[in-house]
């Protein structure tokens, strides 16, 4: 989400890009990568989910997207005369993985990539599963990939990188032949990533950012929006932005703001009301992480409706 910090320091935040790539057209981006964007645009999806066709002749399709008949039919048409050797899934959100099953029904290709959906932690007593509707709990890959596992075809190899945080099963995929990386929803140019407990984890997300900061790739292809160029610098900026956000939240706690709603109003300015719920979950993700690190205290296990105070 594109938001403004009140904490002052000038860490660049990825701004909303008005020139988002258009949905519904097949584009060749590089010799090995084509992209079609599903027409499921919205405040959390940019112009829609990016599906990537990797390779020539023998291809992988990364993130077929939601169960959208038109989009899946277009992906099948785009790869006509080619063999789809793998349907690759980065993570189990409903805008990324359900289309894999429709694509498999049409092509017989195996589904590979992330494992079944799982949460970062158990629900606390009385806690509501806030973003439950966004999870795809039916995803069962034919082959689950772990860190370093590869899927390959004629002229291309995709190597899985475990990048938990946005979801705990999230994978990114390095394409060595083009020194590029498919970053899923973990790193995107158009918006910061939603990190929402209990499914997501800020601690894991920050570790996964550290991991990508040292990668050799010079171009990231995200799950939504256009490419990330100069990704090392961009990822450093994302991590700095989150640390700055954490400091701003901690300052509000020190000033006596004890609940998520009050902190959201103080820390986010000019926030699109459609994103208020996501901002609350993001603040909560930071609070939960700071409780775990002993920086602040909560009344019982951290909950979105809990009360927080300095440690
Ligand atoms: Zn997602």
pLDDT per position as a tens digit, 50-61 = 999 999 999 999
Q: Which residues, 6+ apart, have CB-to-CB distance to 208 below 8 Å?
A: 162, 163, 164, 165, 170, 186
User: Do residue 148 and residue 279 come from a single domain?
Assistant: no
Query: What does each C-alpha distance from 44 to 5, 141, 185, 193 come to in angstroms?
Result: 20, 25, 10, 9
Q: Which of 48, 118, 55 is nearest to 86 (CA)?
A: 55
String of DSSP letters for 143-168: EE--TT-EEEETTEEEEEEE--SSST
What domain range includes position 158?
Answer: 26-241
CA 185 / ligand 1 centre spacing (Å): 5
Boundary of a domain, candidates 183, 209, 241: 241
CA 310 / ligand 1 centre spacing (Å): 32
Sign of the alpha-carbon torsion through 152, 155, 157, 158: negative
Sign of the alpha-carbon torsion through 281, 286, 287, 288: positive
Q: What is the mean pLDDT of each run of 10 residues along the chain (311 residues)?
A: 36 52 94 97 91 98 98 98 98 97 98 96 79 88 98 97 97 98 95 89 97 95 95 95 96 96 92 87 96 96 94 94
User: Do residue 47 and residue 128 come from a single domain?
Assistant: yes
Question: Based on the structure, what is the number of domains in the chain?
Answer: 2
For residue 213, give the CATH number of its domain: 3.60.15.10
CA 97 / ligand 1 centre spacing (Å): 9
Q: Is the pTM of this model over 0.85?
A: yes
pLDDT per position as a tens digit, 58-102 = 999 999 999 999 999 999 999 999 999 999 999 999 999 999 999
Query: What does each C-alpha distance from 285 to 174, 196, 289 come to in angstroms?
Result: 28, 6, 6
């Amino acid at each position: 989400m594109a938001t403004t910090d009140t904490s002052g320091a000038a860490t660049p935040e990825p701004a909303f890009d008005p020139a988002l790539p258009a949905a519904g057209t097949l584009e060749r981006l590089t010799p090995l990568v084509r992209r079609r964007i599903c027409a499921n645009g919205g405040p959390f999806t940019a112009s829609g989910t990016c599906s990537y066709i990797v390779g020539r002749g023998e291809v992988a399709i990364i993130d077929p997207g939601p169960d959208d008949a038109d989009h899946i039919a277009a992906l099948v048409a785009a790869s006509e005369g080619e063999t789809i050797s793998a349907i690759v899934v980065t993570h189990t959100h409903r805008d990324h993985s359900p289309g894999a099953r429709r694509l498999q029904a049409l092509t017989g290709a195996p589904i590979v990539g992330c494992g079944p959906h799982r949460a970062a932690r158990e629900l606390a007593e009385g806690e509501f599963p806030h973003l439950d509707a966004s999870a795809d709990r039916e995803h069962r890959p034919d082959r689950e990939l772990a860190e370093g596992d590869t899927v390959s075809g004629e002229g291309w190899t995709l190597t899985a990188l475990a990048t938990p945080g946005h979801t705990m099963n999230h994978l990114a995929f390095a394409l060595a032949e083009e020194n590029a990386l498919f970053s899923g929803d973990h790193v995107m140019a158009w918006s910061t990533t939603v990190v929402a407990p209990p499914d997501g984890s800020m601690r894991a997300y920050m570790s996964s950012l550290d991991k990508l900061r040292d990668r050799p790739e010079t171009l990231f292809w995200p799950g939504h929006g256009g490419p990330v160029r100069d990704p090392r610098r961009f990822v450093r900026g994302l991590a700095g932005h989150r640390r700055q956000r954490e400091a701003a939240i901690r300052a509000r706690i020190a000033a006596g703001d004890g609940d998520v709603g009050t902190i959201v109003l103080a820390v986010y300015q000019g926030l699109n009301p459609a994103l208020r719920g996501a901002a609350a979950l993001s603040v909560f993700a930071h609070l939960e992480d700071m409780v775990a690190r002993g920086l602040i205290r909560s009344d019982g296990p951290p909950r979105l409706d809990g009360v927080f105070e300095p440690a």
